[in-house]
Amino acid sequence: MGKNTKEAIIAASISLFNTNGFHGTSVRDIASKAKVNPANIAYYFNNKHGLLEYCLTIFFERYVAEIEEGYERIEQGATICLKTIARNILFFQYENIHLTRMILREITIDSQVVREIMSTYLMKERFYLNRVFERGMQTKEFRHVTPDYMTLQLKGLLNMPFLNSHYMSEVLHVHPNERYFAEKYLKEVDRWIDGVLCRNEYEPAYLAVN
Amino acid sequence: MGKNTKEAIIAASISLFNTNGFHGTSVRDIASKAKVNPANIAYYFNNKHGLLEYCLTIFFERYVAEIEEGYERIEQGATICLKTIARNILFFQYENIHLTRMILREITIDSQVVREIMSTYLMKERFYLNRVFERGMQTKEFRHVTPDYMTLQLKGLLNMPFLNSHYMSEVLHVHPNERYFAEKYLKEVDRWIDGVLCRNEYEPAYLAVN
C-alpha cells in the first residue's frame, strides 16, 4: 500500500511537471492527480523540492549504473565499449521516457540541487566517457578528438529525441515511445560513432554499401 | 523611451524565466527586475503568456530567416548549403544565448502556443532541411539517409550547448558564451556533416590527416 502511494505520487508529479513545469505544479495538484492525501506527499518527500530531488537521484543513480555497466567492456575496445554505453543510455531513457523528459528539462535550470547532481553524477559520466575517448585515441581506433566536445555531441544525440518528444511526434511524425524508434535511432548513434570518431580503416561494411 | 522599456521587460523576463522557469516567474517579478511599472507589461504584452509568445515569435522569425538565407546556396551543392545553414543557426543561437536557452526549454512543454510554433516555424525548418538532404542524396554527395533522423541529429548537436550552458561550464569547463567556443563547435558540426552524411569520396583533407 505504501509503495503504491509513493509510486502514484511520483507518476503524477512527472506527468504534471511535464505539462505545467515544476513551478507551475502545486503539491495539491499532485495529490489530486495521484488520488492521495497531500499529507502523504509531506510524509514521503517533505515537499515539492524533495520530490524533484528524489526523481533526480533515482534517475541519475541508474543512469550512471548504465554507463558503468557499459564501461566494463573497455578491454574489448573503445568502439564496442562506447556503443554499449550509448545503447544502455538510449534504452534507459526510452524505458523511462516521461521521467527522462522531465529530468532533462529541469537540469537546464540553474539551482542548488542541479549543481549537486552535476558535481556528482555528471562528473562521473564525464570521467567514464573521457576514459573511453582517451583509450580509443591511444589504440588508434578513434581519430584525434577533444573528449569534452565528443561528450557534448553524444549527449546531444542521446537527449534530443526524449527531451523533444512533442516536436518529434508533431513535426517529424517519429514516435520516441515506440520500440522501433529506439532500435532505429541506435543505428544512427552507431553511425555517428563510426563516422565522426572512428578512423577510416575501421569503417564498417554497412557504410561501404551505400 | 518606449523602446527601452520594452527591451528592458524582455531582457528581465528572459533572465527570470531562465532562473525560475516560466511558471515560477510573476509579472510583478519581471516589472521589478526591469524597473518598470507592471502596467507597462500589460500595455505591451497583455500578460506573461503574451510576453512568452512575443519572445517565441521574434526568435523563430529570425531563426527561420537564418535557415532561408543558408538555403539560398543550394545550387552550390548540398554540403556547402547545409554547412551554411548550420553555421547560421549556431551563430544566431550563440549571439542570443539567454533567449535561446529559454526558448529551447519552453518548447519542450506541450502547450497551445508551442504547438502553433511547431506547425509554422518548425515545419518550415523541416521542409528546408529535407530539401537539402534529398538534394544531397540525389547528387550522391550524401549517403542514403532518413532525412527526419538527420534533422533530429543536427538539431541535437546545435541545441545541446545552448540549452545546457550550466552543464557546459560546470562539468565540461567549456563556455558557450565565448566566441572561441562557437568557432570550435562549428568545426565539430562540419565534421559531423562530413563523417555522418557525406560519402567517403568527398572526405575532406583534414580528416585524412589524422
Mean pLDDT to the nearest integer, B87-103:
95
Interface size, chain A vs chain B, as Cβ–Cβ contacts under 8 Å: 161
A108:B164 CB<8 A: yes
Q: Between B71 and A109, where is the model more confident?
A: B71
Q: Which three cell numbers stand for residue B144?
A: 542514403
Closest CB from A23, A114, A168 relative to B24:
A23
User: Mean pLDDT of all residues in chain B?
Assistant: 91
Is A52 within 8 Å of A107 (Cβ atoms)?
A: no
**pLDDT over threshold 80, residue A2:** no
| Residue A79 near residue A198 (C-beta atoms within 8 A) | yes
* Residue A11 C-beta-side C-alpha neighbours within 13 Å: 10
Whether the complex's predicted ipTM surpasses the cut of 0.95: no
CB atoms within 10 A of CB A210: 12
Work out the number of other CB atoms within 10 angstroms of the CB of residue A153: 24
What pLDDT, on the 0 to 100 scale, is given for residue A14?
92
Q: pLDDT category, B207, cuts 50, 70, 90? A: very low
| Cell numbers for B49 | 503568456
Average pLDDT over residues B145-149: 94
What distance in Å separates the CA atoms of residue A65 and residue B209, rounded to the nearest whole number?
37
Closest residue in A to B25 (Cα–Cα)? A23
| Cβ separation A153–B174 shorter than 8 A | no
What is d(CA A30, CA A44) in angstroms, rounded to the nearest whole number?
Answer: 13
pLDDT value of residue B204:
46
Locate the chain B residue with the closest alpha carbon to A25: B23
Domains, chain B, ordered by start: 1-46 (1.10.10.60), 52-208 (1.10.357.10)
Tell me the average pLDDT across B171-193: 94
pLDDT at residue B101 tops 90: yes
Closest approach of A42 to chain B, Cα-based (Å): 21
Span B129-146, average pLDDT: 96
pLDDT digits (tens, 9 = 90+) for A127-164: 999 999 999 999 999 999 999 999 999 999 999 999 99
Q: Which residues of B touch A200 (CB under 8 A)?
A: 200, 203, 207-208
Nearest to B79 by CA among B26, B139, B128: B139
pLDDT for res B22: 87
pLDDT tens-place string over residues A52-111: 999 999 999 999 999 999 999 999 999 999 999 999 999 999 999 999 999 999 999 888
Per-residue pLDDT at A200 exceeds 90: no
Burial class (CB in 10 A: 0-12, 13-18, 19+), B113: middle
Q: Does B170 contact A118 at a Cβ distance shorter than 8 Å?
A: yes
